[in-house]
Amino acid sequence: MTELSLEDIEFIKILANSDSTILEKGMNETTKDRLDSQIGVILREYYKENTRGQSSHWIEKFEKAGISEDDGKAAIACARRLGIDIS
């Protein structure tokens, strides 16, 4: 089971509180790859738990990390605008 690192938490919080157009301009290939391969996986699992009731404990992990449900939803929306498939 994947755990949230401090870097993951910060990345999710940045997504939740940023304008995707500004992020897109400042992202290099390494950041885009990390977003898709690590953060994208986490957000997809969080989304599935919230929408399909698939217990993956991400809601609990987000809460422990200080990421609210609204932050999670905002991070998912921003990731989608950046071209990350969250479904």
| Per-domain boundaries in the chain | 6-81
Share of the chain above pLDDT 90, in %: 56
How does residue 59 score in pLDDT terms, banded at 50, 70 and 90?
very high
Per-residue confidence (pLDDT) for residue 3, from 0 to 100: 78
Q: Residue-wise over 7-37: b if at least 16 C-beta within 10 A, else e?
A: ebbebbbebbebebeebeeeeeeeeeeebee
Residue at 66: amino acid letter: G
3-state secondary structure of 30: helix
Q: Which of 3-7, 9-13, 15-19, 30-34 has the lowest mean pLDDT?
A: 30-34
Q: Cα separation of 80 and 35, whole Å? A: 11
| Among candidate residues 5, 7, 6, 23, the one with its CA nearest the CA of residue 77 | 23
